[in-house]
Homo-oligomer: A and B are copies of this chain.
Amino acid sequence: MSHKTKAIPPKRLIHLAEGNFSHRKSKMTTGVLRYGYHHSLAVIDSTRVGETANQVIGFGGDVPVVASLRDALDFQPEAILVGITPAGGRLPDDMKQTLLEAIEHGLDVYAGLHDFLTDDPELVAAAKRKGVMLWDIRKPDKHLPVGGGLTRWSKSYISLMVGSDCAIGKMTVALEIDRAAKARGIDCEFVATGQCGIAIAGWGSPIDAIPGDFMAGCVERDVLTCEGSEIILVEGQGSLLHPGFSSVTLGLVHGSCPDSFVLCHQITRREISNIREVPIPSLDEVMRPYIDIVRPFKPNAKLVGVSFNSVGVSDEEAKAAIADAEKLLGVPATDPIRYGAEKLVEAMQKHRKEIGK
């Protein structure tokens, strides 16, 4: 599913999040509700029946929470999304039963599990019999390309979201910039690189599931699929500083050869996550290797803006952090959720003009 031309078309979608509909436990569902181009009809979670998505997670409007697949079928869905990403990536057995039932009712099934739907003989047989599609969002394509630095010749303006750490708001800022840019009539594309982003966009490559030799190549191919757009926003993953996930990050840097970076940082984050006692360096130090590494391909690549995640701090503290970063780095900063992403769109438009793109 990694080519935009092969994107899954928008569908009338229900979400399976039994016992787990929340920000933390049903990341796929919350992402699609916030940004997805699918038409979300209902969320299955018998523990929150009667509430709306907005009541449970603060957005998603009036999409109702229902008790069962049977109730969700009243909305005449075309597809069901496994909204959770369980620890270990395995599909709980009761969820599998629900999916088999959904297939019997002619629904396509989408999931971003480590265990693939298409490796389960029962699900495969049922899907074949009913002529429905199983979409394993984390399953890489069969034919994978090696990166060749080709995106350095792109005529589009390419910007990559990077972070001072993992799970810090890189997908969110890309989608907020995408939304703000489109609102201004800019021809903008979002390139998804993780399962949640792919579920939202309907296409993309699950870079973290792809063997090392092909990570950059997949991103490169996906970015080139969008060639001709005014702005191409590439979803970030991990961090060059994180020992667990830095390889994936670097695949994105070389695969996209960006004209600019947006740096994401969480104000309260002091240490690299899950790594004891390794402090995050100052933001200018964080950026240096990104710029150094892309320079041979894009000699003028630069940091274009900073996106703060200001969860858990006061408005005053958030504004102080923004002012400090703007002073230190000389580029605009914002929290796109609190204060919008317009500043970042403006910075990109200005930079595009400067480099004649």
Contacts and interface: CB of A to CB of B under 8 A. Distances in A.
Interface of A: 146-149, 152, 207-213, 215-217, 220, 240-251, 253-255, 257, 272, 274-275, 278-281, 285, 288-289, 292-293, 295-297
Given A148-B244, A288-B289, 5 more contacts: A148-B274, A209-B211, A241-B293, A243-B297, A246-B251
Nearest to A140: B211
Nearest to A208: B213
11 contacts: A148-B244, A149-B243, A149-B272, A208-B212, A211-B211, A212-B247, A213-B248, A216-B244, A242-B254, A247-B254, A288-B289
B250 A246 contact: yes
A242 B212 CA distance: 13
A254 B243 contact: yes
For A212, A242, A251, A279, which residue has the most chain B Cβ atoms within 10 angstroms? A212
A296 B148 contact: no
Contacts of A246: 216, 250-251, 253-254, 293
Nearest to A217: B244
A247 B215 contact: yes
Given A246-B293, A292-B289, A212 B215 contact: yes
A292 to B, nearest CB: 5
Nearest to A145: B244
Nearest to A271: B296
B147 A244 contact: yes
A209 B242 CA distance: 20
